[in-house]
Amino acid sequence: MSDSTAPLTIIDIARLSGVSKSTVSRVLSGAESVSEDAREKVMAAVQTSGFRRNDLARSLRSGRTGMIGLVIPDIANPFWADVARGAQDAAADENVSLLIFNSDWDPERERRHLLALTQSRVDGAIVNPVRDGLDEIARFRIPLVLIGSSAERFPQLPSVGSDISQGVSIGLDRIVAAGLGMPALLVGDAERTARERFVAAVRSIGEVEGWPLDEMRLEDGHYTVDGGRAAMNRLLARDIPRVVFAANDLMALGALQAIRSSGLRCPEDVALLGFDGVPAAEVSAPSLTTVAKPSREIGGRAFELLSKKIAGEPDVPKLSLPCALIERETLPQPNYPRAVSTG
Amino acid sequence: MSDSTAPLTIIDIARLSGVSKSTVSRVLSGAESVSEDAREKVMAAVQTSGFRRNDLARSLRSGRTGMIGLVIPDIANPFWADVARGAQDAAADENVSLLIFNSDWDPERERRHLLALTQSRVDGAIVNPVRDGLDEIARFRIPLVLIGSSAERFPQLPSVGSDISQGVSIGLDRIVAAGLGMPALLVGDAERTARERFVAAVRSIGEVEGWPLDEMRLEDGHYTVDGGRAAMNRLLARDIPRVVFAANDLMALGALQAIRSSGLRCPEDVALLGFDGVPAAEVSAPSLTTVAKPSREIGGRAFELLSKKIAGEPDVPKLSLPCALIERETLPQPNYPRAVSTG
DNA sequence: ACCAGCCGTGGGAACCTTCCCACGGGCCAA
DNA sequence: TTGGCCCGTGGGAAGGTTCCCACGGCTGGT
């Protein structure tokens, strides 16, 4: 194509096509009153020269970069990878690029990344705020959309999360339907807010079902497969619960290992319900029945909200997306149809 | 902090601290002969005003953006998420940001993303090239490091990949050690190059072991859990192999499901060896013995090579990183110690 | 005592684009 | 015919930073 290393500018294109740089700029920015003749000449020059518009200069002048930041705990975590994918798909449709950062649940890293983002002059950012760095976040003068359960601490900021209460509700309903009685609970420590929300939801919904939280066994553990295995072993050390509701899939998967290596059968001896919907839950044996969070949709909707915020819309909402039950093998099918209250 | 929405510039800081904009620039860019007095005044002004240097203008003038692109098939795929994580960790150490794109194995998307990257004036890019878009890639005048097995088609470009031959070698050695005879092969269709390399490695290494490829059963399938299940069922429909070597973990996991739902035991009836090292392989039941690719390291080394390329180093190599066997439950331990050739 | 050289500093040019304004020509209505 | 208006166009300024060069003051060597 072009012979030398000379970086081309729109001025070169203007010279090649015999028009002014203003006209070249207009052609390259899409319509806006340019004659067909001029447009063709410019396009031809662009084609033969292999010119690529410099988005840096463009952004500097226009104030828009077409880039947004995504700050999540860990892209290698399947849940967050899925959120990222959802955001990317939505962003790609509007030609915006994603700058992705891992906070590793570390407020200091989060702060550094946010700083880098403001310096890069991204148009906005989607952030899963880390526990303690909360106040500081508001200080970054940049359109922000929050994701995750800690988002609720910022009532003034738009956010997208999954509806934990509703998820717990369908989970407990399903456990009721299984007819195995009150579940033992397995909860994690990853995010304090997430844990609290889960427990709070179980309390309020359990009351309706006639299952007071106080009477349930509740075991804490690290938010990992190993943590779930250990927590489940502690549970089994005292007695064998008929059914276990885990607050996340990783721990549920660990619990499954603990159940099976104790010589117990799942679901015949101990039934199990997870929460999250990670892909690995599909390939465990038996495959894990779980309440899935709409991870990909969370990313997608977060991008949509951010777009609105960037566009200057005044009332960008806080969204709570519903979870969905994925029927698999660790929770037995209901023996009998449940009474359904119509309406 | 600052009261109005006025975007601050180094000129404002210069005025506030009583020095010239050049000096402010020097302070902000790190050392380079500035008096301690000037430095302190500037830093103080920056602190109180909340000024953030505009990286757009900086990059426009300096020609460096501190951003690199990463074009991979799918960030939601655990292998690629891990590669991304490795690259990000290495990049974060040098304060460079990652622009991540998903190609979905689609040459046209790859082309679009690469175009966006050049327009953004990123300093370089790490790309897993898609099958057919190969020739086109070289056209983008931008420092490039390739990852994945198709990288070998570009002998002139630096690249990082896993050593498939070596991985197959330790896999076959392990199968020999298990004493179960010749394995059946399960291969995927995701990347033609990857498939070919796997088969070629099995052929050449099998010859040494006295296992000609022609005599092995070989089943093709889609590179997914479902594909693996289907392929395994086809295998089982004819006869029951004593041991199966799958070219990737997702298919192996599907195969495991097929084996178990046929009422067979793994590893007692059919033993299984995977390839990749995805996290889900750890939580299947039984957990999957597999040859793990060094995914995170691939990302990290790719970034290192790219840094060298960007710095202008002349001979940036093509790297081939070793795979490692992860012992788990689907392949029985050797009954007897193998004869080991010393040295 | 003088000149070379270095150090810290400042001012202007450059980076490449978009935005703003002005200008000429054609059209329509008065 | 003429005045007002819109359309397509061009030129200059702006956007915020780094780079280059020059300049004054100080030091050290002759």
**Does at least one atom of strand C sit less than 7 Å from the CB of A318?**
no
A103: which chain B residues are within 8 Å (Cβ-Cβ)? none
Per-residue confidence (pLDDT) for residue A74, from 0 to 100: 93
My answer on whether B141 and B241 are in the same domain is no
The string of pLDDT tens digits covering residues B182-209 is 999 999 886 777 888 899 999 999 988 8
Confidence at residue B149, expressed as pLDDT on a 0 to 100 scale: 80
Chain D footprint positions (protein CB, under 7 Å): 7-12, 14-20
| B122, amino acid identity | V
CA-to-C1' span, A87 to C6 (A): 54
Q: How far apart are CA B87 and CA B126, in angstroms?
A: 9
In a domain, residue A181? The reply is yes
- Do the chains contact at B59 and A56, CB–CB below 8 Å? yes
Residue A97: its chain B contacts at CB < 8 A? 99, 101, 116, 120
In a domain, B330, yes or no: no
Please give the protein residue whose CA is closest to the C1' of the nucleotide D16.
B57
Q: Tell whether B339 is within 8 A of chain A (Cβ).
A: no
Q: Please tell me the predicted confidence (pLDDT) of residue B342.
A: 42
Percent of chain B predicted with pLDDT > 90: 69
Range of the domain at B235: 164-294
Q: Report the C-alpha gap between A325 and A293 in whole angstroms.
A: 9
B323 located within any domain: no
H helical segments located in chain A = 10-17, 21-28, 36-49, 55-62, 78-93, 107-119, 134-137, 164-178, 192-209, 225-238, 249-261, 280-283, 295-311
Q: pLDDT higher for B335 or A321?
A: A321
Do B153 and B176 fall into the same domain?
no
A320 — contact with chain B (CB < 8 Å)? no
- Scanning A57-76 for CB atoms below 8 A from B yields 57, 59-60, 65, 67, 74-76
In a domain, B3, yes or no: no
Residue B338 has pLDDT above 60, yes or no: no
Q: Are residues B34 and B107 in the same domain?
A: no
**pLDDT, tens digit (0-9, with 9 covering 90-100), for A96-110:** 999 999 999 888 899
User: Chain A partners of B89 at a C-beta cutoff of 8 Å?
Assistant: 102
CATH code: domain of residue B252? 3.40.50.2300
Task: Inform me whether the pLDDT recorded for A33 exceeds 90.
Answer: no
Count the neighbouring beta carbons within 10 Å of the beta carbon of residue B211.
Answer: 19
The pLDDT of residue A139: 75
Nucleotide closest in space to A8 (CA vs C1'): C16
Q: Are residues B282 and B211 located together in one domain of the fold?
A: yes
| Contact call for residues B119 and A59 (beta carbons, < 8 A) | no
Least confident among A84-93, A131-140, B154-163, B197-206 = A131-140
Q: Is B202 a member of any domain?
A: yes
Name the residue facing B118 among A52, A60, A256 (closest C-beta): A52
* Nucleotide showing the shortest C1' distance to residue A14 CA: D10
Residue A208 and residue A201: Cα distance in Å, rounded?
11
Residue range A273-295, pLDDT digits in tens: 999 999 889 888 889 999 999 99
Q: Is the pLDDT of residue B263 over 50?
A: yes
Instruction: Sheet with B159-162: list strands edge to edge.
Output: A318-321, A159-162, A144-147, A124-127, A67-72, A97-102, B97-102, B67-72, B124-127, B144-147, B159-162, B318-321
Residues B223 and B75 in one domain: no
Establish if A3 belongs to a structural domain.
no
Q: Do A137 and A93 belong to one domain?
A: yes
CB crowding B122-132: b at 16 or more within 10 Å, else e: bbbbbbbbbee
Q: Please give the residue that has the higher pLDDT: either B38 or A325.
A: A325
CA-to-C1' distance for A19 and C26, Å?
21
Domain count, chain B: 3
Q: Does A92 touch chain B (CB under 8 A)?
A: yes
Q: In this predicted model, what pLDDT tens digit does every residue of B98-135 receive, in sequence order? A: 999 999 988 889 999 999 999 999 999 999 988 655 56
Assess contact for B107 and B131: CB atoms under 8 A.
yes
Question: Are both B130 and B215 inside the same structural domain?
Answer: no
Could you tell me what percent of chain A has a pLDDT over 90? 68
CA distance B50 to A106: 23
Verify that B268 and B181 share a domain, yes or no: yes
Residues of A in contact with B115 (CB under 8 A): 52
> Average pLDDT for residues B324-331, to the nearest whole number?
95
Average pLDDT for residues B257-275, to the nearest whole number?
94
Question: What residue has token string 């290992």?
Answer: A257
Domain membership of residue A16 (yes or no) is yes
Task: Nearest chain A residue to B287 by CA: give it.
Answer: A284
Pairing of strands B290-292, B271-276: parallel
Question: What is the mean pLDDT of the segment spanning A169-187?
Answer: 94
Q: What is the pLDDT of residue A282?
A: 87
Residues B132 and B243 in one domain: no
- Residue B300 has what pLDDT? 98
Task: Kindly list the distances between the CA atom of residue B327 and the CA atoms of A18, A265, B169, B285, in Å, as whole numbers in the listed order.
Answer: 69, 25, 15, 14
Question: What are the distances in angstroms from CA B134 to CA B47, B106, B129, B157, B331?
Answer: 49, 12, 6, 12, 38
Selecting from B75, B284, B286 the residue whose C-beta is nearest the C-beta of A75 gives B75
C-alpha B22/C-alpha A147 separation (Å) is 41
Strand order in the sheet with B218-221: B218-221, B184-188, B243-246, B271-276, B290-292, B324-326
A158 plus A174 within the same structural domain: no
pLDDT at A335: 62
Amino acid at B293: K
* Comparison of pLDDT for A231 and A17, the residue scoring more: A231
Q: Are B67 and B55 in contact (CB under 8 A)?
A: no
Whether B56 sits inside 8 A of A60 (CB atoms) is yes
Are B60 and A57 an interchain contact pair (Cβ–Cβ within 8 Å)? yes
Please report residues of B whose CB lies closer than 8 A to that of A290.
none
Give pLDDT, residue B154: 84
User: Is A342's pLDDT higher than 60?
Assistant: no
Distance from CA of A343 to the nearest CA of B (A): 39
Q: For the CA atoms of chain A, what is the radius of gyration?
A: 26
Quote the pLDDT of residue B134: 58
In a domain, A330, yes or no: no
Cβ distance B52 to A119 less than 8 Å, yes or no, reads yes
From A124-133, A263-272, B277-286, the region with the lowest mean pLDDT = A124-133
Mean pLDDT along residues A70-86: 95
pLDDT score at A133: 56
B84-109: average pLDDT: 95
Residue-averaged pLDDT of chain B: 89
What is the H or E stretch that residue B273 is in? Answer: strand B271-276
pLDDT band of residue B282 (cuts 50, 70, 90) is: confident
Residues B224, B175 share a domain: yes
Please name the residues in contact with B168: beta carbons below 8 A apart, sequence gap of 6 or more.
B198, B201, B202, B205, B275, B291
With CA atoms as reference, the chain A residue closest to B72 would be: A85
Nearest residue by alpha-carbon distance to C1' of C6 = B33
Do B153 and B255 belong to one domain?
no
Q: Which nucleotides of C are covered by protein (CB under 7 A)?
A: 7-12, 14-20
